Amino acid sequence: MDRQATDARIRDLIDPFNKKGVEITDATTFADDLELDSLSVMDFVAAIEDEFDIIISMNQQAEIENYGQLVDAVVKLQG
């Protein structure tokens, strides 16, 4: 799946977590812009893993700070 299609699917998944209606760009951060707490992050990661049938390791999660990095990681994990 290409980056654009992956991006579209992740946007659908992030919608319920975007309580403030923040415009999602590649630079959107999960902690600062979306104000996601650790439980919300875990739920969101689980939704992504289920949707794409992938596993995002804790080390990878620690390196992902913004939306663009997440999309790139999911594309790479899909191989």
Q: Which CATH number fits domain 3-78: 3.40.50.2000, 3.40.50.20, 1.10.1200.10, 3.40.50.12780?
A: 1.10.1200.10
pLDDT value, residue 5: 97
**pLDDT the model gives residue 6:** 98
78/31 Cα distance (integer angstroms): 25
How far is the C-alpha of 42 from the C-alpha of 40, rounded, in Å? 5
pLDDT at 19: 92
- State pLDDT tens for residues 28-73: 999 999 999 999 999 999 999 999 999 999 999 999 999 999 999 9
Q: What is the DSSP letter of 34?
A: S
DSSP 27: T
| End-to-end CA, the chain | 9
Domain locations along the chain: 3-78
Non-local CB neighbours of 1 within 8 Å, separated by 6+ positions:
9, 75, 78
**pLDDT for the residue numbered 55:** 97
CA distance linking residue 67 with residue 14, whole number of Å: 10
**What integer pLDDT is reported at residue 79 of this predicted model?**
85
